Amino acid sequence: MNYWSSGNGTPANDTYDVVGNSDNVPADQTFGGCLEIVKNDLVQKLRFTGQTQLMPETYLLVKTRVKVMAGGLPAVRIAAWAGDKNGNHVAEVTQVGPSISIENYGEVYDVSAILGPGLRDGVDMVWGAKPTFGHFGIDITGPTGAVLRVDDITIEDVSHLFQRDALNIVDVRDYGAIGDGVTDNFDAFVAADQAANGRRLVVPAGDYAVTQALTLNSHIEFQGRMVMPESAPLIIAKSYNLPTYIDAFKDEALAFKKAFQALLNSSDHDSLDLGGRTITVTEPIDMQAAVANRNTYYDRRVIRNGQFYASGSLGWENTIIQAQATYSTSYPTRLSKVENIIDIEIGSLVTGQGVGREVYVKDKNEAAGTVTLSDALHDADGTQVFTFTRFKYLLDFGGFEVLSLFNLQNIEFQCNSKASGVMLARSGRLFHLIDCYVTKPKHRAITSSGTGCQGMLIDRCH
């Protein structure tokens, strides 16, 4: 009796040899040796004082048999106390199983529950990866006064019921991942990735939220969808290509942005392979906004092997702003006292009296009311109304202050007379296009609004 606690099973709780409302029955006609308990408390607890250790990816079936001999008819459920590696209670996990109502005296009732790390069909108590041990037993609920006999409580490893056919697969749910689109699964993904050790990581159906940057070093298969903030990179080290990101995010344009974000936030890869995929684009892709933590980049990077296809109409309408401004030859590449400056976009084509061809807004200072131009004006001294037209590009690098050594290789830009092709960064050197096609651009194939075209290379392109 000293092995069975009337509380949670921890040392702070009394055992049944102390509390006195129980007895050992050596020869029950059904159970043989068993424990008899008189229910005195609202919830009468029975827990084994020993710690049952929990292993990763392990699912346990806890079961017993009970019968009521006298008194009120109660309900019985498997119950437990979850502890972490420091011996602290993990209160947030489910620690009771389904309740079985006792309806007849002397009748034997089976009581059972399955617990494990993952939210799987048939798992009653999902514990995730935090608990490392448990104290297991039963709860007796309902009216007091019941006299109940309890058979042996057994714990059986039933992990085989939840294993995949291939033994080289690690399911993120077995490390606590929950695909409800809300729960932060960062710790679960990290734990599963570390445990994989060469095995393939599987993300089953569901929406898996991760709220911060995540690097996965295992080969991975996405059946479910990742839900992440725009600012949080997902770096898939061993399956780094666009098709994998499409599987992860279930959206071509978003997947491309997240893959590009990873390209500029990881040193493991110098190129993004689009895998021959066609990416349908309904609005300009702001390349710098996809990598909001960087507005300069100097290392060689490559995007290759795919097609961007302009679709829709509203997302491709030019932004046209007319604003009065003042020009002086004393500052040949500056407009001052610019009205509506907040609405003028960097990269806009500037037209007006004395403005030459291909003069663009290179930068602006809203506080000072000034616009920096890509080239000087001619015979434009004084104040006039200028027109600022921002074309829409399939790939828009205009948000980068500096972008150097960037390559686009073996890509077709299907502009479909809806979009322009590529806007370069405001400055940089050796932007390189190789074996690319810009088909039916609406206004421009390639635009440089500043000095992003220094040393630019164009090879075998159309």
pLDDT string in tens for the chain (462-residue length): 778 999 999 998 888 888 878 899 999 999 999 999 999 999 999 999 999 999 888 999 999 999 999 999 999 999 999 999 999 999 999 999 999 999 999 999 999 999 998 888 899 999 988 999 999 999 999 999 999 999 999 999 998 888 754 468 899 998 989 999 999 999 999 999 999 988 999 999 999 999 999 999 999 999 999 999 999 999 999 999 999 999 999 999 999 999 999 999 998 899 999 999 999 999 999 999 999 999 999 999 999 999 999 999 899 999 999 999 999 999 999 999 999 999 999 999 999 999 999 999 999 999 999 999 999 999 899 999 999 999 999 999 999 999 999 999 999 999 999 999 999 999 999 999 999 999 999 999 999 999 999 999 999 998
Query: Which two three-digit tokens encode residue 293?
Result: 């933590």
| Strand ranges inside 40-193, DSSP E | 44-48, 52-53, 60-70, 75-83, 96-101, 109-116, 125-126, 133-141, 147-150, 154-157, 169-171, 180-184
Pairing between β-strand 285-286 and β-strand 334-336 as defined by DSSP bridges: unpaired
Q: Which two tokens stand for residue 345?
A: 């976009």
If you write DSSP's letter for every residue of 150-191 in order, what string do you get?
E---EEEE-GGGT--SSTTEEEGGGGT---EEEEE-HHHHHH
Sign of the C-alpha dihedral computed for residues 376, 379, 380 and 381 taken in this order: positive
Structure confidence at residue 166 (pLDDT): 42
Helix ranges restricted to H, 163-311: 186-196, 242-249, 252-263
Q: How many CB atoms lie under 10 A from the CB of residue 112?
A: 17
- 242-249 vs 252-263: helix crossing angle, rounded to 10: 120
> Do 344 and 319 meet the contact criterion of CB atoms below 8 Å apart?
no
Tokens of 441: 């651009």
Residue 277: predicted pLDDT: 96
| Cβ pair 154, 64 in contact under 8 A | yes
| Beta-sheet pairing, 382-390 with 406-414 | unpaired
Right CATH for 4-161 from 3.30.1360.10, 3.30.1330.10, 3.40.640.10, 2.60.120.260: 2.60.120.260
- Tokens matching residue 164: 């995949």
Q: How far is CA 415 from each of CA 303, 394, 418, 422, 424, rounded to the nearest angstrom?
A: 18, 7, 6, 10, 16
CA quadruple 28, 30, 34, 39: dihedral sign: negative
Amino acid at the residue 293: N
